[in-house]
């Protein structure tokens, strides 16, 4: 087993540890993502980096869309047939994937669930953002920017996204406690149909013209809402908080201008890396805690220039 040609100090340390402990050839790990969107591409990058650092064979599969639940089940079965020793999966539907994953676990395959929860008890470890806590942070922040009695719109992601649902539950709870006399509207889903995000963001103001604040729980809705606020001349006039991952120049510019008050940034590369790292450890008979949470960062204009935030631009 040869170390990766180009690796960080952490990667080299992991490799040397594996060699010193006499693990031999690392196991084959299957990684099953929700879709081929940019978010999951970053998760894949972290997973492959972990595989390279550990000398493990990592096989990545994903349906084209998060709505392709049946396709994800087929891909799961394909990984099982490849004789993987561990599977890292982000289920497109927590209930529909429960039985197929349990069947894989019954064959001795170690299961690491990332990002979104899975029904049942087949998972050995969960790794991801504490979505409820992230949603609470967003809701509490928006509540402070509004007056009690102001109408608020929670622009949701979709009706099957387990991770975004937890954000929405946390955000709604904090909005209701912070604005007890405000109407919290949450019946518009930006990500239910790919390509219609802009239309759904427009619907927010045609359906709720009295809205004084908006919180979007997903990246597609957040980016669409930034465009709608700009075209309606509302950028900087209506407090807006969005969710996403890492940081890109458009979001940084929106924070700088005041069009966006906060960006709740997940770190998907870390999720992918820790997912494979944990899967390899479990396959070797090691133990890990049942839940491992990856940090999220609340980015505002006040901390935008901090080095750790600026570093997210380059991930």
- Domain regions of the chain by residue span: 9-129+268-284, 131-266+300-314
- Residue 72 near residue 63, CB atoms below 8 Å: yes
CATH code that applies to domain 9-129+268-284: 3.40.50.2300
What's the rounded Cα separation, in Å, for the pair 173 and 176? Answer: 5
**pTM exceeds cut of 0.75:** yes
Could you give the CA distance from residue 314 to residue 292 in angstroms, rounded to a whole number?
Answer: 25
Q: 82-107 b/e with 16+ CB inside 10 Å = b?
A: eebbbbbbbbbbbeebbebbbebbee
Distances from the Cα of 300 to the Cαs of 46, 116, 250, 313, in angstroms? 26, 26, 14, 14
List the helix and strand counts (H, then E) for the chain. Answer: 11, 12
Relative to beta strand 211-216, strand 240-245 is parallel
> Any idea which architecture 131-266+300-314 has in CATH?
3-Layer(aba) Sandwich (3.40)
Residue range 22-67, pLDDT digits in tens: 455 679 999 999 999 888 999 999 999 999 999 999 999 999 988 8
For residue 112, count other CB atoms closer than 10 A to its CB: 28
For 276-311, how does the pLDDT look when each residue is reduced to its tens digit (9 = 90+)? 999 999 999 999 999 999 999 999 999 999 999 999
Q: What mean pLDDT comes out for the span 126-132?
A: 95
């Amino acid at each position: 087993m040869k170390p990766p040609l180009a690796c960080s100090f952490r990667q080299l340390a992991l490799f040397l540890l594996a060699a010193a402990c006499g693990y031999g050839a690392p196991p084959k790990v299957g990684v099953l993502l929700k879709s081929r969107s940019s978010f999951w591409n970053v998760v894949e990058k972290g997973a492959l980096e972990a595989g390279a650092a550990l000398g493990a064979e990592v096989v990545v599969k994903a349906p084209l869309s998060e709505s392709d639940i049946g396709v994800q089940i087929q891909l799961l079965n394909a990984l099982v047939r490849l004789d993987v020793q561990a599977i890292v999966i982000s289920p497109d539907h927590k209930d529909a994937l429960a039985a197929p994953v349990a069947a894989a676990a019954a064959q001795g395959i170690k299961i690491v669930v990332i990002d979104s929860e899975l029904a049942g008890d087949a998972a050995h470890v969960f790794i991801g953002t504490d979505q409820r806590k992230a949603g609470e942070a967003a809701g509490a922040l928006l509540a402070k920017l509004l007056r009690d009695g102001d109408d608020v719109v929670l622009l949701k992601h979709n009706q099957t996204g387990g991770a975004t649902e937890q954000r929405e539950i946390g955000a709604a709870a904090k909005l209701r406690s912070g604005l007890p006399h405000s109407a919290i509207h949450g019946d518009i889903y930006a990500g239910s149909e790919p390509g219609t995000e802009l239309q759904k963001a427009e619907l927010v103001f045609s359906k709720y013209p009295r809205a004084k604040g908006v919180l979007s729980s997903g990246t597609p809705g957040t980016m669409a809402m930034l465009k709608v606020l700009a075209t309606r001349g509302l950028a900087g006039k209506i407090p807006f908080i969005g969710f996403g991952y890492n940081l890109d120049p458009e979001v940084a510019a929106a924070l700088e201008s005041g069009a966006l008050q906060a960006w709740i940034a997940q770190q998907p590369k870390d999720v992918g890396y820790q997912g494979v790292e944990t899967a390899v450890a479990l396959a070797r008979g090691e133990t890990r805690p049942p839940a491992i949470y990856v940090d999220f960062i609340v980015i505002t204009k006040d901390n935008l220039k901090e080095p750790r935030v600026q570093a997210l631009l380059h991930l």
